[in-house]
Amino acid sequence: MIRAAIQGVGHYLPERVVENDWFTTFLDTSDEWIKSRSGIERRHFAAEGQTTSDLAIHAAKAALADAGLEPDDIDTVMVATSTPDLTFPATATIVQQGLGMTRGFAFDIQAVCAGFVYALSNANALIVSGQAKRVLVIGAETFSRIMNWEDRTTCVLFGDGAGAVILEAIEGEGTPADRGILATDLHSDGRHREILQVSGGVSTSQSSGHLMMAGKDVFRHAVEKLARSTIDVLEKGGVTADDIDRVVPHQANVRIIDRTAKKLGLPMDKVVVTVADHGNTSAASIPLAMSVAKARGDLKTGDLVVTEAIGGGLAWGAVLLRW
């Protein structure tokens, strides 16, 4: 049986680090409020002129080096992003050119903060169906470009960055002992789209707009839906929460991460948490966290890993994989 296994991982963070205190220079807020409500201490912001594809290309090169592969070894490039360089073409084609790839196909996936989980699931489908052997899956965002800097309830929460993994077809036995993606679970519900959205877009305002969020509503949906999706993906994969070695959740808010882990009965020492240093980087947050966790020695070959995310749409889901 064909499995899609992660063979390389990498990330990139822009140079500029912004501590919570910076926001107090123009907003009625405090380091204490931001830290206690979200767990965020700092985030990175892209430099002027630095685009989502720039961040993605850095992360992709790091993942390729980690896997020992060249750009032309890749069949497909997928970029999960809600902050593309341009309305079109896809940021993924800009990345393809930037890597010097002369073959394959590239496209974007837009599922906001759930984008990387959606991309992993779709890359898995391409590999299992034999349409691709190696897929470069990138989450990359420049959310600093869509902040309303007068809205203290949102602009303190987000950051810029990129993470990438290389998924490759390998042979498995069809059991939970296999390396690679073991199960996926995706959902969306457009009835909730107004609690987390951007105020503009091509066919409505011909502008990119600013992020708006009903924080309490998002929080409530997040804990409930992430826990349900995680339970379902474990069941689909034929494993239990006790079997899990590592959880790599979307890094939006440490309180959402903590409450969801409690609901699942998973101890926090199994949960990868990077939100303090990165803020919420939307579709980039999971591959960024995976790359940092691997570098720290917290993700090892053979570890059973579950990853979950929710974002605008609402769109959410979970992926079970053996590292």
**Closest by CA position to 317, among listed 217, 140, 189:** 189
Q: Which two tokens stand for residue 237?
A: 């994969």
Q: Point out which span in 33-41, 74-82, 231-239, 267-275 binds ligand ACO (CB under 6 A).
A: 33-41
Q: What's the gap between Cα 185 and its chain centre?
A: 15
Minimum distance from residue 68 beta carbon to ligand ACO (Å): 33
Q: Which of 218, 234, 261, 283 binds ligand ACO (CB under 6 A)?
A: 218
Minimum distance from residue 110 beta carbon to ligand ACO (Å): 14
1 burial (CB, 10 Å; 0-12 / 13-18 / 19+) is exposed
Q: CB–CB of 126/194 below 8 Å?
A: no
113 is catalytic: yes
Query: Would you say 314 or 320 has its CB closer to ligand ACO?
Result: 314
Asked if 105 touches ligand ACO (CB under 6 A), the answer is: no
Cα–Cα distance for residue pair 99/110, rounded to 1 Å: 22
Sketch the per residue contact string, 241 through 260, with ligand ACO: x for CB under 6 A, - otherwise.
---------x-xx-------
**E strand spans, 46-93:** 76-80
Query: Would you say 138 or 256 has its CB closer to ligand ACO?
Result: 256
**Closest by CA position to 160, among listed 146, 139, 141, 145:** 141
Minimum distance from residue 23 beta carbon to ligand ACO (Å): 7
Asked if 111 touches ligand ACO (CB under 6 A), the answer is: no
Query: Would you say 36 or 240 has its CB closer to ligand ACO?
Result: 36
Enumerate residues 147-166 that contact ligand ACO by CB under 6 A: 152-153, 156-157
Minimum distance from residue 274 beta carbon to ligand ACO (Å): 14
Asked if 37 touches ligand ACO (CB under 6 A), the answer is: yes
Backbone phi, psi, residue 225, to 5°:
-75, -35
Query: Would you say 223 or 239 has its CB closer to ligand ACO?
Result: 223
Q: Which of 24, 29, 50, 199 binds ligand ACO (CB under 6 A)?
A: 29
46 burial (CB, 10 Å; 0-12 / 13-18 / 19+) is buried
**Closest by CA position to 250, among listed 135, 83, 115:** 115
- Where is 9: in which H helix or E strand? strand 2-12
**Closest by CA position to 231, among listed 159, 293, 316:** 316
Residues assigned a catalytic role: 113, 250, 280
Binding site for ligand ACO (CB under 6 A): 29, 33-34, 37-38, 113, 152-153, 156-157, 196, 213, 215-216, 218-219, 222, 250, 252-253, 280, 310-311
